[in-house]
Amino acid sequence: MVHAHLPYRITLRIGILAVLAILVGCGGDTSRSEIDALRKEVAELKAAQAQLEATVSTLQPKWAKKAAAPAAVAAPADPFAAVAAAEAPERETVLIIPTSFAPRKGPEVAAVTVVEFADFQCPFCQMNAGLPDKLLAEFPNRVRFVFKNFAIGKHPGANRAAKAAWAAHQQGKFWEMHDAIYGGNTQQLSAELLRGYAEKIGLDMAKYDADVASPQAQTAVSFDKIQAKKMRVRGTPTYFVNGKRVQGASQDAVRTKVQAEIDAFPGRTAN
């Protein structure tokens, strides 16, 4: 709302001059020339006030019209754009999974990288233990398989087995330990049983014992688990193909995802 008021200084000054005029009329000591000068200034201020009010009156209709103007109407939405958005396939989330120090099989550079988060005491992981070799046999030179630990808390032997497998990995024999663990009784993964597997696959036992007991072993296993939790891995086995989560843990689901990635990029092969 627009208010047509005199500026504060003009209004105040008129009031002061009016009081002075009253005081002079009541018999003050001001001379006649001073009174005439005050009266003249009051008259000039009244004229300025009248001019200001006239200007405000002229502008008020324009302000009122502008205030009442309707808001800009948005352009109509493109109906074809909405249909295209509805029909567009939803893009899969692609996660970056560090694999530099993880055990892996296959070429270092491959068209497809499969990452498994597994628990050595999980019966479903045990059922899928042969999947890496199957994929590498079916897609030679095109698939790389990476193993990550996700030792679930309710499996008391899983963390112990993960550290034993890490110790074997320090001697270049992770997959031999992997196969030995999954090939035996996964529900009884005692330290003695795991050490027996280490001897069977030909590890340097002094180094094995030192590595299993080292803080680095637990750090490596915990690192994998932290990664898994950040990626919202809830159970085992969980697979990612080129960073895309596989829906389901069956070998067929993983193979289908691998084939889809190869079909999507037929020219992408290992170097």
Q: What is the dihedral of CA 18, 24, 27, 29, to 10 degrees?
A: 150
Give the residue with greater pLDDT, 77 vs 223. Answer: 223
The amino acid at residue 92 is E
HEC profile of 33-73: HHHHHHHHHHHHHHHHHHHHHHHHHHHHHHHHHHHHCCCCC
For 38, other C-beta atoms within 10 Å of its C-beta total 17
Q: What is the pLDDT of residue 27?
A: 45
Q: Give SS3 for 156.
A: coil
Q: Are 151 and 109 in contact (CB under 8 A)?
A: no
Provide CB contacts within 8 A for 174, sequence distance 6+.
103, 147, 165, 166, 168
CA distance 228 to 246: 14
* Tens of pLDDT, residues 176-213: 999 999 999 999 999 999 999 999 999 999 999 999 99
In DSSP terms, 216 is beta-bridged to: none
- Please give the mean pLDDT across all residues of the chain: 81
Every domain of the chain with CATH number 3.40.30.10 lies at: 104-264
Judged against a pLDDT cut of 50, whether residue 107 lies above it is answered with: yes
* Tens of pLDDT, residues 38-86: 566 657 667 766 776 776 577 666 656 665 655 544 445 555 445 444 5
Q: What is the pLDDT of residue 2?
A: 41
Q: What is the DSSP letter of 116?
A: E
118, two tokens: 């597994």
In DSSP terms, 149 is beta-bridged to: 118
CA torsion sign for 228, 232, 234, 235 is: negative
CATH 3.40.30.10 is the classification of domain 104-264 = yes
Q: Are 146 and 113 in contact (CB under 8 A)?
A: yes
